[in-house]
Amino acid sequence: WRGKLAQSYARSNQFEKAIHLYETLPNQAYKLAFLYFDSGQYNKALRLLNALKVSGNKSTDIAWLKFWSLYFTKQYQTALTFLNTLPDENDKNLKKKIIYWQAVTWEKLGNQKKSRELYNIVSVSNTPDYYAYLAQHKLHESTFIPDSIVKTDFLLKPTQVEFKTDRLPDKTAQSVFDYLNSRLLGTSTDESELTIDDFSDRGQKLYFNGSYNYLAALGTIFLKTRPPTFTEQAYFWAYPLAYKEWVYFYAGIYGVDPFLSLAIMKQESGYRPAISSPALALGLMQIIPQTSRDLANELKIDYFHHEDLKLAPLNIQMGTFYLKKRLGEYGPHLPYIIASYNAGPLAVNRWKAQGDHMQPDEFVEQIPFDETQNYVKKVLTNYWTYLLLYTK
């Protein structure tokens, strides 16, 4: 029971009480070190971490906690030496993370040449990538997407708001997806020549009939397999202007960037309007029952029922209004806004209290929930990609 009480104290920012309890419990060195770290007592965290063996299930967590403790106490050379010993375990994303933070640490040490050399390594990516975007920002480069992508007219910018009611039946949309998917992966028995017009015509049919989830799935497959002649379409298919009439409408009313709404929609539901989660989050922007009731009251929506969130316009309205509330609370700080959409504002306020001195990329790495940290990275990647595709 003392362990649970200590966790409760920690979640409510009562760090001294939590630390006192953990000090009385056996085999709690890692949790105690994490609490010291979380409360900004980095040197105390280091003393415990140095005594821990980096092995077992927690080995990666312990190693990164030690790096960050060294980093935030400005022991950059020691932090860099330690970072060089971390195994990447053939994980491409972990390797990019290590190299990126090696570059940042070299920059802290004043070695611009070495840091730029490492940023250049990280910045190379065939598909949208969180660390590639960060590295390109450090190098003051705008995009890794080929220039021809942002110059194309294929679904580039909405010219006017058009409210459509006709939709491809799911069965028909599925058949279009299955056909293109089988041709792309080479599993089709159709041996006729496959042309770019064939893909473009069918892809646009999915788009203009509102089958955005199928279109995005195809675009993602295209980006992974990268057939050269279809690359331009692939980016726009993977990141469509889904439900743009409603997204732009409510973004304008509530003063929210429409591309942030789309970035969250892509991550939350993959553009599927009726999808439900185990936590009963529903619809395009995955709104849970309690939040939906609170939002319905604020928006003065009469006779609201949670199942109504399967309606795209209402779901987008509520999701965008929620983003407006967080924008009012956090200002233009995207990591806070995005993290709060996943973990709630109470958790973010707790992390923010400890991380206000951090740069945005540092703050994201300190989010203690793996799910939320990965969520923020993915939504930021979606957002930056939308900006590159549709604002040039």
Higher pLDDT, 109 or 63: 109
- For the chain, percent of residues with pLDDT exceeding 90: 43
pLDDT category at 60 given cuts 50, 70, 90 is: confident
The residues spanned by each domain of the chain are 1-63, 150-238, 244-390
pLDDT category at 237 given cuts 50, 70, 90 is: confident
Tell me how many degrees the CA angle 210-323-388 measures, rounded to the nearest 5.
60
pLDDT value, residue 263:
97
Active site residue 191: no
CATH architecture type of domain 1-63:
Alpha Horseshoe (1.25)
pLDDT value, residue 165:
35
- pLDDT (mean) for 121-132: 88
- pTM of the full structure: 0.82
Domain 244-390 part of CATH 1.10.10.10: no
pLDDT value, residue 90:
77
Please name the amino acid found at residue 123.
Answer: S
188 pLDDT more than 60: no
pLDDT value, residue 178:
67
The mean of the pLDDT values for the chain is 80
87 pLDDT more than 80: no
Pick from 58-62, 92-96, 190-194, 273-277: least confident: 190-194
Task: Write a three-state SS string for the chain.
Answer: CHHHHHHHHHHCCCHHHHHHHHHCCCCCHHHHHHHHHHCCCHHHHHHHHHHCCCCCCCHHHHHHHHHHHHHHCCCHHHHHHHHCCCCCCCCHHHHHHHHHHHHHHHHHCCCHHHHHHHHHHHHCCCCCCHHHHHHHHHCCCCCCCCHHHHHCCCCCCCCCCCCCCCCCCHHHHHHHHHHHHHHHHCCCCCCCCCCHHHHHHHHHHHHHCCCHHHHHHHHHHHHHHCCHHHHHHHHHHHCCCCCHHHHHHHHHHHCCCHHHHHHHHHHHHCCCCCCECCCCCECCCCECHHHHHHHHHHCCCCCCCHHHHHCHHHHHHHHHHHHHHHHHHHCCCHHHHHHHHHHCHHHHHHHHHHHCCCCHHHHHHHCCCHHHHHHHHHHHHHHHHHHHHHCC
9 pLDDT more than 80: no
- pLDDT (mean) for 353-373: 88
pLDDT value, residue 154:
30
153 pLDDT more than 60: no
Q: How many CB atoms lie within 10 A of CB 258?
A: 21
198 pLDDT more than 50: yes
192 pLDDT more than 60: no
Pick from 103-117, 153-167, 329-343: least confident: 153-167
**CA–CA separation, 226 and 145 (whole Å):** 13
- pLDDT (mean) for 72-93: 87
- For the chain, percent of residues with pLDDT exceeding 70: 73
The residue annotated as part of the active site, out of 23, 117, 141, 268, is 268
Q: How far is residue 99 from each of residues 76, 107, 117, 123, 359, measured CA to CA in Å?
A: 15, 12, 10, 10, 18
Kindly report, residue by residue over 277-322, the tens digit of the pLDDT.
988 999 999 999 999 999 999 999 999 999 999 999 999 999 999 9
pLDDT category at 372 given cuts 50, 70, 90 is: very high
pLDDT category at 167 given cuts 50, 70, 90 is: very low
pLDDT category at 148 given cuts 50, 70, 90 is: very low
pLDDT value, residue 351:
87
Kindly report, residue by residue over 94-124, the tens digit of the pLDDT.
999 999 999 999 999 999 999 999 999 999 8
